[in-house]
Amino acid sequence: MTGAGKRHRAYRRGHSAEYFAALALMLKGFRIVARRHRTKQGEIDLIARRGDLVLIVEVKARPTLEQAMEAVTGTAMRRIEAAADLWLVRQPDYANLSLRFDLVAIVPWRWPVHVPAIFTA
């Protein structure tokens, strides 16, 4: 398979993973307010909200939960946090919002695994 073919397959797999992660969060009562939110600082996979709680969600499709958790590196945390700060200041009620950084791991043959507070700002 060519490099372009592999990238396209990875892109499709990422979209599917984000779809299943969003579905799992909606079933928990969250409203998805943004998908693939892009800023100059980076991209946030999902932003979900329930009341004043806002989840900044990183979605990882990996063979195991441990590999998904290890894939959220320090560099990724800083990028996600910077992008979240830019999103947050644009919200009219930002002073009332509670922000949490979560992971949703997409593991083969399992329901998406929601890991709350994978890191703190």
DSSP 36-62: EEE-SS-EEEEEEEETTEEEEEEEEE-
Read off the pLDDT of residues 76-114 as tens digits, 9 standing for 90 and up.
Answer: 999 999 999 999 999 999 889 999 999 999 999 999 999
Place of tokens 């997409």: 106
What structural domains does the chain harbor? 3-119 (3.40.1350.10)
Predicted local distance difference test score (pLDDT) of residue 118: 95
Predicted local distance difference test score (pLDDT) of residue 64: 97
Predicted local distance difference test score (pLDDT) of residue 10: 73
